[in-house]
Amino acid sequence: MKELIQKLPKAELHLHIEGTLEPELMFTLAQKNNIALPYQNIEEIKSAYNFTSLQSFLDIYYAGANVLINESDFFDLTWAYLLTCKAQNVVHVEIFFDPQTHTKRGIAFKTVVDGITKALTKAEEELGISSFLIMSFLRHLSEADAFETLEQSLPFKDKIIGVGLDSSEVGHPPSKFERVFEASAKKGYKIVAHAGEEADSSYIWEAINLLHVNRIDHGIRCEEDVKLVDFLIEKQIPLTICPLSNVKLKAVKRMQEHNIVKLLRQGVLVTINSDDPAYFGGYINENYEAVVKSLHVNKEEIKTLAKNSFKASFLSEVKKQFFI
Ligand code: ADE
Ligand code: ZN
């Protein structure tokens, strides 16, 4: 199975580039940029990664992102992730970045986009990895703040395929951002949103009915509502599921209780992704392996999961056909 997972071409559709910041690079950048970290060494960083909830992770994730200052930092971060993609036979990526995490600290939108984009271009040329970039609005911030971010993105529209919604979910439903997503769609952006990770299935309905998403990030709480699961199957709305993340953040108690395989067998278009691999103990292949180990999936199902990652992507129909 391990060999099959390695060998299969895969796409990654749910990956926060800030969540690929490995402790070693965090330390190097903190020293270079003179940023104080609340850790003395790499072991201390790793032992802080003991999360009890989404928020307990986000606090540490945002603190880590403070070391990213220069365009070259964003380039180095992205390039390191892409090298891992190459090693794991990930051939297409759709990467999230959180502009507000950086612009709030006085880092220019351009610095962030240029650093990430230069690495993506190099990966296309040198590693044969294709990519799209998705900017995520932070849902704990205001609608006005999201509108401002949308405006800031417009000069870089040719580099960004879509908009997403992430950060603290409970208490910040999709409806809070209905108008921003309407404006984003009018500008031609594709639409995705985190929903049903920690919050209940009503957030998934809102993402579908109010934001008009092309796909749902996480969506694991759909199983609470039979009508919703039927709807996801009928419309083939993809879920970008992140198994190791869900267990690490206690959205799911144990991998053995994860519903990804049940949803797959029901006909939901589910995909496997890594979310924030530097924090959750694994990149995409480790997520596949964890699912295999705990959930008794067979080889055909693994192949379907890999194919689903292309089906659910924003690649053209012609390019998708090559992998399906
Ligand atoms: N930002 C980074 N990772 C996230 C996750 N799993 N959920 C919500 N926001 C995030
Ligand atoms: Zn996520």
For 44-78, give the DSSP string: HHHHH---SSHHHHHHHHHHHHTT--SHHHHHHHH
pLDDT for 260 equals 98
Classify residue 177 by burial, with Cβ atoms within 10 Å: 0-12, 13-18, 19+. Answer: buried
pLDDT for 198 equals 97
pLDDT for 271 equals 98
Q: For the chain, how many structural domains are there in total?
A: 1
176 lines ligand 1 (CB under 6 A): no
19 lines ligand 1 (CB under 6 A): yes
pLDDT for 301 equals 98
And the tokens for 282?
A: 């694994």
Q: Annotated binding residues for Zn(2+), as ranges?
A: 14, 16, 194, 275
Cβ(20)–Cβ(278) below 8 Å: yes
Whether 197 is catalytic is: yes
* Global pTM value: 0.98
pLDDT for 155 equals 98
Cβ(129)–Cβ(88) below 8 Å: no
Q: In which residue ranges of the chain is pLDDT below 50?
A: none
Determine the structural domain holding residue 203 and report its residue range. Answer: 2-321
pLDDT for 24 equals 95
Distance (angstroms) between ligand 1 centre and the Cα of 36 equals 24
CA 305 – CA 120 distance, rounded (Å)? 24
Cβ(171)–Cβ(193) below 8 Å: no
Q: Which ligand is nearest to the CA of 138?
A: 1
CATH of the domain at 238: 3.20.20.140
Distance (angstroms) between ligand 1 centre and the Cα of 166 equals 6
pLDDT for 134 equals 99
Q: Which ligand is nearest to the CA of 21?
A: 1
pLDDT for 200 equals 98
